[in-house]
Amino acid sequence: MTTLTPFTMPKWGIEMAEGTIAEWMVAENAPFTRGTVLTLIETDKITNEVEAEKDGRFVRIIAEAGQSYPVGALLAVLSDGGEASAAEIDALVASFRPSESGFDPEASSTPSPPSAPPATSDAAATDIDPALASPTAIQEARRLGVDLAQVQGSGRNGRVFAQDVHQTAYPSPSVSLAGPFPATPPSSVLSTPVARRLAALNSVDLSSVAGSGARGKVKRDDVLAVLKQTGAEAPSPPAPDMSAAPAGDHAAHFDVVPMSSMRRTIARRLTEAKQQIPHFYVRRRVRADRLLALRGAIQGERPSVNDFLIRACALALMEVPALNIQVHDKEMHRFSGADIAVAVATDRGLVTPILFGADDLSLTDIHGRMASLAQRARTGKLRPEEFTGGSFSISNLGGFGVEQFDAIINPPQGAILAVGAARPEPVDDDGAIRIVPVLHLSLSCDHRAIDGADGGRFMAALAKLIEQPHLL
């Protein structure tokens, strides 16, 4: 007898909520053996290979490559190797329920509308298959007297949620903010520009609108409330006259490219970091001629300039431990070793593999380990523990010719060093003016945990190590 089991989106790490099917490595109904790579799943920072735990075959592949699915979602139906009828497969798919680790769109409570029309009948929401509507949606449909058969579901396979019922019960007026501003005489009514624009586009007399702003000022929401009460529809904006566009003008043509799961995560984390962390910056010019000369004198495989900087930062963190921290709400975690994250550019976005215990590593060790980490970062082969955590970050754009920039802190770390390219500049060398390569360094610090004096001491220690590289 054939045994069918669901193949679901796995969960790697506490914060993982969804994954993207990068590629299916086996075809539907193609037999595979234990250890075969079945699919590649892209998460926040890496691409994971999912291997078969035993021999079998996919009798039905449900998830599409390139699409994202929540943790616990059904991706395919597995067979132990035997054939299965379509009815058996359909029965498993219909009876499948995501595990508790999956993402529930109604995990956060949906606010109820301020007032509700009287319910007309309970018959509209009776005998509903739970696969077609959530329990909250069924309850709200009974309360509002909404026929679930007439509701357009926003969930997977058209499943209806409470917000879909509310949108059906309380349809919003069609209001457009687009289009040319009609030539109308200035209004004597105190109002905002957006309110005047909405009123002009929808033929609303501002003198008849009750303003909710200071001194009775009419605001956008006041006009929208009038439109909702009257059920008025805004006039559609006129279509652009394409005949007026000059020949060969492609300014309006573009491709819509959806963000990858990794790109969305980077956007979310950096937005949160910039909004929630009070950044301050400490900048310093550091002569690099002696470091470059020392590097040039090394025989055989030479460490990169970045390897020298990692070593210098690790030693500076040991000298100024106030920066070797993580910030967790009202607590600071002070590290005894320098776990330095290094930004690596990949085709999918920025990845920051971590060099743990960099203060105990030689330049040769740092060079070898960073080469391995960078290679695996670019191919998506890093393990989660290799890019999670860290006590300090380095971002070096010198290889792209960037002279100076400021970096955004990578939480929960407390600081990040931005490194530009070495450029010839005049410096004071014991009273003589010399033209030597100079690095522009910018240190971004979290002011909740790090003071300006701490940032200054760190930059002084770092400059000393770079300008006297024999100390490394």
Hey, which residues are catalytic here? 447
Phi/psi at 142 (nearest 5 deg)? -65, -45
DSSP string, 123-159: GGGSS--TTTB-HHHHHHHHHHT--GGG----SGGG-
The position carrying tokens 């979602």 is 73
Q: Which pair of structure tokens corresponds to residue 23?
A: 């590629």
- As a whole number of angstroms, the distance between CA 408 and CA 418 comes to 9
Phi/psi at 392 (nearest 5 deg)? -165, 150
The position carrying tokens 């019922």 is 165
DSSP string, 237-282: PPPP-GGGSPTT--TT-----PPPHHHHHHHHHHHHHHHHS-EEEE
Q: Which helix (H) or strand (E) holds 458?
A: helix 452-467
Burial category of 407 from C-beta neighbours within 10 Å (exposed 0-12, middle 13-18, buried 19 and up):
buried
